[in-house]
Amino acid sequence: MTEKFSEIMEDLSHHRAPDIGPDFEAGIWSRISQFENRQLARGRHGLAAIMLVAALSVGVMSGGDEAIASSGSSYLSDGPDYSPATLLHVLP
C-alpha cells in the first residue's frame, strides 16, 4: 500500500499543475448563479403545482354540493328601513 502511494506521489510530482485563467472566478460565480436560478424556479413551480392541486381538489369536492336558497328571514332586510333617506327623515 505504501509503495503504491509513493509511486503515485512520485508520478504526480513530475506533472505540472494547470494554469488557472483570469476568468476562473467569474465562471464559478456565474455557475453558482445558474444553480440558484434553477433552484428558485423549481421552488416556484412546486408552489404553483401545490396551489393548483389544492384548488382542483376543493373544486372537485365542492362541485357535487347542491345550492340551497335560505328561506329564513334576514335581519337587515326584514326589519325597519335603514335607507339613508329614512334615517335622515327626508320625504320623497
- Name the pTM for this structure: 0.40
pLDDT of residue 73: 60
Is 1 domain-assigned?
Answer: no
Q: How many CA atoms lie within 13 A of 42 on its CB side?
A: 6
Percentage of the chain beyond pLDDT 70 is: 75
Res. 46 pLDDT band, cuts 50 70 90: very high
Task: Note the pLDDT of residue 84.
Answer: 74
Residue 52 falls within a domain, yes or no? Answer: yes
Q: Evaluate whether 85 touches 92 at the Cβ level (below 8 Å).
A: yes
- CA-to-CA dists, residue 23 to 30, 34, 68, 69, 75, angstroms: 11, 16, 70, 71, 75
Range of the domain at 36: 25-57
Please count the structural domains in the chain. 1
Residue 54 scores a pLDDT above 90: yes
Residue 86: all three cell numbers together: 329614512
Residue 13 covered by a domain: no
pLDDT band of 70, cuts 50, 70, 90: low
Is 48 inside any structural domain? yes
pLDDT for 80: 65
